[in-house]
Chains A and B, each alone.
Chain A
């Protein structure tokens, strides 16, 4: 009897979600073993991780990471590696701050339709800024031949420092109590639906109600994430640019031979990716962040980088982006909770993410291959 690895004759319908689930379980097991070795209780670790998958804190991260994951998917499908979502995220906030605080600040005498117009203008401006920021890296790769990975990565830091300069200078707020930050986004421009839930005293019911409250608060985000996912689907399945990006990822020479400008397609892939990051950025700023604080690199939650993990975990499959976003958000949440419950420090978050992703890397080959026993 021997084991042989053979290419699958047809794709297994559920193999991708199965691999993700298996990686998650194995990764959790691994982290439990590792932390047990340094004195933590394995049961407490597993319960904390499992609990972290059900808490309302996951909702916000999952929605934002779904949007960013879709954005990165657009470039990754074309084998154009946009690792600059972090920079695009903050660059896209610049025009929003300018519009909401300086061009059309809210005042008691402002017309009632102004918030809608300003929110739409902010989203549009953020999308344009994100697209432009992405297109710069695309143009450098397409026309000068500079690899987009270091470029987009370096541009993240450029974005941080541009934002810092603005916050230290022209964007520094007047009502900030000595802090170096922008003024708060006017309430009229905030995207969020506040509902007050009465506590019942029943822990389970209160937890559920809190979950509902959070989902309702982020209703605009749910809508935005659904629209971004739909847009991504339309791009890939019904537009020629989406088709070109897919072929760019598998055989750019063929694309050239049918008469398509490969360089323009490369720029478009990064610009479209940046555009969707810009949309996500606007939603994030208008619904949650609401101000920029100096130094930005110390304040960022690193969503732009986490989104890379989301896309990788999804195996570049759009339907799996929300699931991957949920897992990454939950794992991040689990790391936070383990710190709160005294089960480990920051490193426990990293070990947890690392264990899941390591297992995932090892199991990924099962999408195309299967292991058979031969007599």
Chain B
């Protein structure tokens, strides 16, 4: 019989800049349940689980575990209470093996325990959970799904009672996600609890026993997973804006003849000396949106970085507007009017310790000696309005914003900047449905109205199908396609992604 293992009572939290992230939120997490947390960007979902995990402390409110009031001031404290978090990005050290990674921080082992003993222990435990992972495999060789599974095993090894999945499944294809949900169901069947944060409402409906919906820091309702209707959930999440949500294909472009982005037999070396991209040739024409689908870690990051001039190409050529820009560096590519939404947005997309205006000026005012701030402020205001960015003012530091609003700043400045081409890698990650659709429409609009050639790389097949004029699939560094979206069966594309 389930009972309330964790109770978060009247939790409130304000962030720098006066942003109210949570306002007296009360939620209980029951044993043996999967609880989904849904909400638009900036609703406070991540903040809530981070408070439970000890990353943030609440300004007001109390946490009860097994009816006892507790203070969780750090993740170590949370783990002691059996609460473990798995985030979107695996927190593993790539150069170490699975066993070495898992040995770090596990109480069962000390500094003198041999890795052999650790690996034996891991094999036994992981076998019990029905997951096959070689403990001696270096982490960088694992697929993204395997890495997330390693994170789950770590949670199990830490004797987790509650697993917090903060968008941990966002990048997995549907089939892999289903396996993962099965794994979670087995965990909850044994008395554990799981809290899932996701933007995908259908998945939440499928996997969760209960769904809690947050809006602008407040809990607007909790509904039973089985009885919930998708439209009702959307309405609770977005209010009137829910009407804007559509997954229908956006208007098709009329591409020109000339290729704006072109690669010829491109080979790129990955971070560990492997051939991450193998002989990729593609063409993106003026006004065309070419989508590349694939599971994360199959060479997409290396490809987009090379196109942006951030990574050296070991063989082959990159042409932008007919000009050979192979290994010419970012400056040359940017000066040709190429926008770039990177795969690692916080590393390459923005500087969070600077203001929105400073971030815009760094890109837009590269050529002049003096910064024209009035021009920059004008751009910033128009982006804030067009993309509904929740920011105190354009001079505010980026770090005061929620993850979704940071993403909106990155995406909007790049979509607005590009004149000739846009390289967009997961442009709607961390965005709620309404914002994601708005961004997709903006990308399509630039392609149709201004003839911008768009290379869209995404792990989200819905996105690929909604925006692309032609589709490729990337797997193990190779490119398959192009396929016309109207003719390409989704199941075939998914199959190509995982073979």
List residues of chain A with CB under 8 Å of any chain B CB: 2, 4-11, 238-241, 243-244, 246-247, 249-251, 253-261, 372, 374
Proximity bits, B334-356, A CB within 8 Å = 1, else 0: 11000010100001111111100
Closest chain-B Cβ to A372's Cβ sits at a distance in Å of: 8
Confirm or deny: B476 has a beta carbon within 8 angstroms of a beta carbon on chain A: no
Closest chain-A Cβ to B353's Cβ sits at a distance in Å of: 4
The answer to whether A250 and B333 touch across the interface, beta carbons within 8 angstroms, is no
How many chain B residues have a CB neighbour from A under 8 Å? 44
The answer to whether A261 and B331 touch across the interface, beta carbons within 8 angstroms, is yes
The answer to whether B18 and A240 touch across the interface, beta carbons within 8 angstroms, is no
Closest chain-A Cβ to B475's Cβ sits at a distance in Å of: 26
The answer to whether A255 and B362 touch across the interface, beta carbons within 8 angstroms, is yes
Confirm or deny: B57 has a beta carbon within 8 angstroms of a beta carbon on chain A: yes
Candidates B15, B332, B359; contact of A9 at CB < 8 Å: B15
The answer to whether B16 and A258 touch across the interface, beta carbons within 8 angstroms, is no
Dominant secondary structure at the A interface? mixed
CB nearest to B61 among chain A residues: A374
The answer to whether B366 and A259 touch across the interface, beta carbons within 8 angstroms, is yes
Tell me whether A240 and B365 are in contact in the complex, defined as CB-CB below 8 angstroms, given that A251-B351, A260-B331 are known contacts: yes
Tell me whether A250 and B351 are in contact in the complex, defined as CB-CB below 8 angstroms, given that A7-B15, A9-B18, A11-B16 are known contacts: yes
A-B pair number, CB within 8 angstroms: 99
- Docked Cα-Cα span, A2 to B62, in Å, equals 12
- Docked Cα-Cα span, A253 to B373, in Å, equals 23
The answer to whether B370 and A239 touch across the interface, beta carbons within 8 angstroms, is yes
Nearest 7 interchain pairs by C-beta: A259-B334, A250-B353, A251-B351, A257-B348, A259-B331, A9-B14, A258-B363
- Docked Cα-Cα span, A43 to B167, in Å, equals 62
The answer to whether A258 and B330 touch across the interface, beta carbons within 8 angstroms, is yes
Dominant secondary structure at the B interface? loop
List residues of chain B with CB under 8 Å of any chain A CB: 14-19, 56-57, 59-60, 71, 73, 308-310, 329-335, 340, 342, 347-354, 358-359, 361-363, 365-366, 368-371, 373
The answer to whether B17 and A254 touch across the interface, beta carbons within 8 angstroms, is no
Most buried by B among A241, A250, A259, A260: A259
- Docked Cα-Cα span, A5 to B59, in Å, equals 9
Closest chain-B Cβ to A255's Cβ sits at a distance in Å of: 7
- Docked Cα-Cα span, A338 to B358, in Å, equals 48
Most buried by B among A247, A253, A258, A259: A258
Tell me whether A254 and B362 are in contact in the complex, defined as CB-CB below 8 angstroms, given that A2-B71, A5-B57, A9-B14 are known contacts: yes
Contact residues in A for B309 (Cβ distance below 8 Å):
259
Contact residues in A for B349 (Cβ distance below 8 Å):
254, 257
Contact residues in A for B350 (Cβ distance below 8 Å):
251, 254
Candidates B71, B330, B347, B362; contact of A247 at CB < 8 Å: B362
Q: List 7 A-B contacts (CB under 8 A).
A: A9-B16, A254-B350, A255-B362, A257-B342, A259-B333, A259-B363, A259-B366
